[in-house]
Structure 1
Amino acid sequence: MGHLYLSRELTDGAMAAVRSLGVPVVVHDDPDRPPAREQLLADVRGASALITLLTERVDGEVLDAAGSDLRIVANCAVGYDNVDVAAARARGVVVTNTPGVLDEATADVAFGLVLATSRRLVEADRFVRSGADWIWGPRLFVGLDVSAGATLGIVGLGRIGMAVARRAAAFGMRILATGSRATSDEAAGYGVEAADLDRLLAESDVVTLHCPLTPETRHLIGAEQLAAMKPTALLVNTARGPIVDEAALADALARGVIAGAGLDVYEDEPRVHPGLLGRDDVVLLPHIASAGEATRDAMGRLAVENVRAVLAGEPPRTPVG
């Protein structure tokens, strides 16, 4: 049996689980940066298992570099658009992800961005830190009252979207959502109304994205969709960057087509469109939606458990494809 390759060191708890597997381990030696392509191809050679992150493109070249002993690619993320699942299947390699364990943490940050953008919290913080002269006034940093009947549009009511709906319901928001689960009993319990994308965009005060990145959802939100939103509306994205046409978003904000945005993910991550960087009406986070301590530990442990199962000849816990 070959080694287990990790493209980045995981949490302490997850690394303890790695060591308990009793197999040789190769870990990329920079905890803060992903491996260069050439290094990745060299380090996976002879591996039986890979634990990768969304920063690694795992395609046929990587799979072939690993060789015929490769049994599993355990992607430590919910999304797996960075893995060529069809190429893996063709080579008899299992692909897994880490769903479920990061729903609440991601929903926390998504709703945090709803609040931060609607109530202009980051903009107000920067203002105070600037040392500007100020005094309380009735127009100072007035924003959207989310708990006064504002409408939240959830694009993609999956596990994370449902967790966001639960938070929005607690704030008394009206909730519209797309996706098959929008008509479920669970959704009805939170007051969710099923809507198509056109209606959701037209009626929502805040639109939050929770759909996977697929060929169909790439640039799902572009110039046409932004123009369909209210001029006072806000856009939040904690899903995947390319779901939004970032250039179109920057242009829409510059022209006042919509009022603001809160982003945790980017189309060309880690690069952010320069048209967004200097804007007070945009909140920008460095892809930290799942960065709760317990959550990141659970993600790593689930990836390791998938590896353990496959190497032992058992079904993986969370296969994809």
Structure 2
Amino acid sequence: MSEKILITRRLPDTVLAAAEARFDVVLRDNTQPMTEDELKVALAAYDGILPTLGDPFTAEVFAAVPEPRCHVLANFGVGYNHINVSAATAAGILVSNTPGAVTDATADIALTLMLMSARRASEGERMLRARNWHGWHPTQMLGLHMSGKVVGIVGMGRIGKAIAHRAHHGFGMEVVFLNRSPVEDAGVPARQLNSLSEVMSTADIVVIAVPGSPATRYLINAEALSAMRETSHLINIARGDIVEEAALIDALQSGQIAGAGLDVYENEPEVPEALRTLENVTLLPHLGTAALEVRTAMGMMAVENLFAFFDGKALPNKL
């Protein structure tokens, strides 16, 4: 009898077909994250679960199911701050993720936001759609010329390095970065700085690329933002709660920084009205990996982690 697997949200057809060829798959055909009650039932009812972003596997959820039937969570995504891995491990549940598959697509979104914020692209589109554009003139909507500027990357992992590569080779940008451990080879000429404030004050555009975790929650707060120049831009493609939204709103409203580009939010899918009404912020609906081939690769990596577990092998991407 095949193992019973829950997939918590619909994935590309190729991924579902691969899973269904091996497992007894139950697809939760709902686009919203699972509720706490659903999570508890799932831990007791399935041999394995393929969770997605926002399914909150907290310590309390694991504690409520002391003898789970489930022994593997093959997370769909590189980020796993919605899963308490320590509590899962204590409950005898292995957790994996999908690194590598997301790198290039997420870096591409970072560059998209960098350009859109620097060149005021979303503001210009809103102007045009509202029929408030009355023709070209030499001083209209002057933004930041990105080529040759300094990009500051907070978190020089796979995604940080991919952003640095694009910024340096594509736009001739100087790269500075902050990382919790020394990075000997960033892939491009780059300077590792000693503090967050140094990166924030040095860069014309700061890109957040650290994992979401309790240690990085509100890493970008009022103090960090105060180190930026009034011509600088902040880009977040990591996790929403790394940036303290209230402090960012204040910085944007006061002109403390020139602009921001966000693909993630503190309380997704809720986006504060103050952010939605500001002209100097570009807002995307978490598009970081939203390309069919990327989501398919992520899904296949998650399924391969399930295959490995039920074949008695080591998980390729165990956390």
Identify the TM-score tier after normalising by the shorter chain.
over 0.9
Instruction: State the AA in 2 paired with 1:213.
Output: G
Contact 2:33–2:53, Cα closer than 8 Å, also in 1: no
The reply on whether 1:192 has 2:193 as its aligned counterpart is no
Instruction: Name 1:319's counterpart in structure 2.
Output: 318
Distance 1:90 1:195, change over 3 A: same
Contact 1:213–1:242, Cα closer than 8 Å, also in 2: yes
Instruction: Name 1:140's counterpart in structure 2.
Output: 140
Structure 1 residue 44 displacement after superposition: 4.1
Secondary structure in 2 aligned to 1:143? coil
Contact 1:47–1:66, Cα closer than 8 Å, also in 2: no
2:67 and 2:51 map into 1 onto residues whose CA distance is 16
The reply on whether 1:75 has 2:79 as its aligned counterpart is no
Contact 1:53–1:76, Cα closer than 8 Å, also in 2: yes
Structure 1 residue 61 displacement after superposition: 4.7
Distance 1:54 1:66, change over 3 A: farther
Instruction: State the AA in 2 paired with 1:16.
Output: A
Contact 2:205–2:235, Cα closer than 8 Å, also in 1: yes
Contact 2:39–2:57, Cα closer than 8 Å, also in 1: no
Contact 1:236–1:263, Cα closer than 8 Å, also in 2: yes
1:35 and 1:27 map into 2 onto residues whose CA distance is 12
2:56 and 2:258 map into 1 onto residues whose CA distance is 35
2:203 and 2:246 map into 1 onto residues whose CA distance is 22
What are the superposed Cα offsets for residues 11-68 of structure 1, whole Å, 9 maximum, x if unpaired?
11110111122x22221132x2233333343344321101001210113454454944
Q: Give 5+ residue unaligned stretches, structure 2.
A: none
Distance 1:12 1:305, change over 3 A: same
Identity %, equivalent residues: 39
1:192 and 1:132 map into 2 onto residues whose CA distance is 42
Range with bigger deviation, 73-82 or 128-137: 128-137
Instruction: Name 1:18's counterpart in structure 2.
Output: 19
Range with bigger deviation, 110-119 or 57-66: 57-66
The reply on whether 1:228 has 2:227 as its aligned counterpart is yes
Secondary structure in 2 aligned to 1:290? coil
Secondary structure in 2 aligned to 1:131? coil
1:178 and 1:232 map into 2 onto residues whose CA distance is 21
Instruction: State the AA in 1 paired with 2:32.
Output: R
Secondary structure in 2 aligned to 1:45? helix
1:76 and 1:287 map into 2 onto residues whose CA distance is 15
Instruction: Name 2:7's counterpart in structure 1.
Output: 6
2:183 and 2:58 map into 1 onto residues whose CA distance is 37
RMSD of aligned alpha carbons: 1.6
2:180 and 2:94 map into 1 onto residues whose CA distance is 27
Instruction: State the AA in 2 paired with 1:193.
Output: R
Secondary structure in 2 aligned to 1:54? coil
Distance 1:38 1:215, change over 3 A: closer
1:199 and 1:235 map into 2 onto residues whose CA distance is 14
Instruction: Name 2:125's counterpart in structure 1.
Output: 125
Secondary structure in 1 aligned to 2:45? coil
Distance 1:150 1:112, change over 3 A: same
